[in-house]
Amino acid sequence: MAGATARVPRSHRILPFDNCEIDFSGWPAMSLSDTIFGFLDAEGEGSPESVVSIEEFDENDGGDGEKGSCESINEGNKTFWETQHQLLHATVRRSSSLEARIRDATKEALKEVQITGNACVCRRPVAGGCRDCLMREVCGRLQNAGYNGAICKSKWKSSPDIPSGEHSFLDVVDKSNPKKGEVRVIIELNFRAEFEMARASEEYKKLISNLPEVFVGKVERLHSLLKILCSAAKKCMKEKKIHMGPWRKHRYMQAKWLSTCKRTTSIAPPLPTGYPNRPPRPRASMLTLDLLENLPNLHRTVVEVV
């Protein structure tokens, strides 16, 4: 009597490919319809063209079937990174006139700081200046140029997905166009470094190298970039088989720049490094201080002992 054979549905099969990682879940969908970059929707990660297709596995083919499936996955990975590069290039390149003006003003402010030097006036000065003092210098120059600039500090609580944290950056609020209303432009002076990884793949490094060192853009633009970069970071970690830290997740990156923050427009002047109006402290020791105050005309002589 022939034994009954149960046929396992294809969607639940485990295909033992050597050195090949098959992602059955597909890539995370990327909807940009909620931003001004609606033209990018057709190239999102969730489009049917960008999903890795798994070729039918034929047990009789042996090694040829494994090779074909590996090549299919590699081709899908190549398509993914090409799509990410296109999305990043389109998002970074597109810029409004307001963003361009604030970007030029920010570059000019950084150039002036570089010429004059970023003197750190913190309680514990850092050689070459610290990030907080640099933001204070740039913000002050933006305000002198007529922009409503401020230092923003975001702070968020921990959740099951991400830990708590805080982050400081700059922004400019523009109200010159009544039709558009209030427009907020985010300024991050060290944007590229926020996404760099020590053990990243070559494709991820290439993608990050296309980011500007200083980001100046509207909230909508930053929101789109975070989707692209966090999706790429997740793919990179999966390819390298490295655990993705919660500080690299999309929600954590959103909390840095897009969560509720405290906006400080009044820039405090640099703290004085010395006290010019204060009388000099006496250098006499505590043993002779009272004697010198009581006998100011006392002359001390040095007796040479032969």
Q: What is the pLDDT of residues 47-93, one digit of tens each?
A: 333 333 333 333 344 445 555 667 777 887 889 999 999 999 999 98
Same domain for 28 and 155, yes or no, is no
Q: Tell me which residue range forms the domain holding 83.
A: 16-90
11 in a structural domain: no
Q: Taking the alpha carbons of 59, 65, 67, 72 in that order, is the dihedral positive or negative? A: negative
172 in a structural domain: yes
pLDDT computed for residue 77 by the predictor:
86
Mean pLDDT within 5-26: 44
The pTM score is 0.65
Cβ burial, residue 283 (10 Å; 0-12/13-18/19+): exposed
Residue 239 has pLDDT above 80, yes or no: yes
Mean pLDDT within 233-245: 91
- Are 119 and 270 within 8 A, CB to CB? yes
What whole-number percentage of the chain has pLDDT above 70? 65
Strand-pairing partners, residue 187, are 170, 216
| Final residue in a domain of this structure, among 232, 249, 264 | 264
165-188 pLDDT per residue, tens: 999 999 999 998 888 899 999 999
| Final residue in a domain of this structure, among 75, 90, 105 | 90
Same domain for 64 and 213, yes or no, is no
| Final residue in a domain of this structure, among 58, 90, 122 | 90
Same domain for 193 and 121, yes or no, is yes
Could you tell me which of 15, 35, 31 has the C-alpha nearest to residue 23?
A: 15
Per the listing, tokens 């989707």 go with 227
Q: Which of 132-141, 204-213, 294-303 has the lowest mean pLDDT?
A: 294-303
275 in a structural domain: no
